[in-house]
Structure 1
Amino acid sequence: RITALDVRAKVIGEGANLGVTQRARIEFGLNGGRCNSDAIDNSGGVNCSDVEVNIKIALASAMRKGSLTRPARNKLLAEMTDEVGSLVLSNNYQQTLALSIARKRGLADIAHQSRFMTALEARGLLDRAVETLPSPAALAEREARGEPLTRAELGVLLAYAK
């Protein structure tokens, strides 16, 4: 079994889904490494597909009414490629920037993050064990040791915030 301490890198960028387990990402982060989850590192393709589907849904009624033909729709989609690409890149940049800011703030935000997790749990929306997030007791221990949430953990909270 390879541990985070066996990895002789400071940064891991996942180019595939589940290249690293969430537990390993967290361990790596707690040992000084920088690592997002695969959902963050690979979000561009998913985001691009979402935008494409939403555009097609928006154009569907015009196609049903006959005011937009499939060839015209396809031409319009092709013309939108650069703009969609820019929007996706901007979204992904802002997402990683949000994680960097949250990580930089470290322990200053841990009480807010704890309340957020507790509120989600109270509504039945979050299971910390499933999401590999620290329990309230484990979070208090980490705070006492001066260990804020890792980028991988913050990525999970970002997903819930969205």
Structure 2
Amino acid sequence: MVIHTERTREEERVVAALRGVFDASVMNFGSYNLLYARNMVDQSTQPDDDAAPSAAGPGEAEVSVQEAVARAAGLLIGYRREPVELVLCPVDTDQVLDRLGEYDDAVAIAEVPALLNLTNLAGMATDESSVEILFSTGRRLTLRVDPVVQFPQVPGLSVRQHLDVEDFYDFLDHFMDQVEQTQP
């Protein structure tokens, strides 16, 4: 979340905590603009995943990075214009909000993000509050992108990201222009 609004001190703490998760998860993290989105896809509609597995702990089933992202309720969307790409980083908002007072880069828990670029995008559609993404693997995400994010875990806590959302939709126009230029 690079674009700043008139955020309160509490909002800035939440933004910094979310940024800490993204920074711990993504190489070259400083070159991305960032915003928060909720994943709205019903997981029962997802295809079975036999893709390359991610690391799994004892007794856990292995899942691909895209599947892990598709299962996440909350995502941080990192985006940049050069090279044109999106990074979808799962975020456990319960954990972030629980540790809000003690958050810094040293304690941010890294998540495995999924990259979306011109090589693995099968389709994209947008409306005023959501973005639907279809990966070339068949994995589908519908992301709710709100100008004000509410966190039910902490009543009264919200983060304003309306300028970030405007910039993100401008980026999506740029992204789709790049996709169209690569089409034969």
Q: TM-score, normalised by structure 1?
A: 0.28
Q: TM-score, normalised by structure 2?
A: 0.26
Bigger radius of gyration, 1 or 2? Answer: 1
Structure with higher helix content = 1
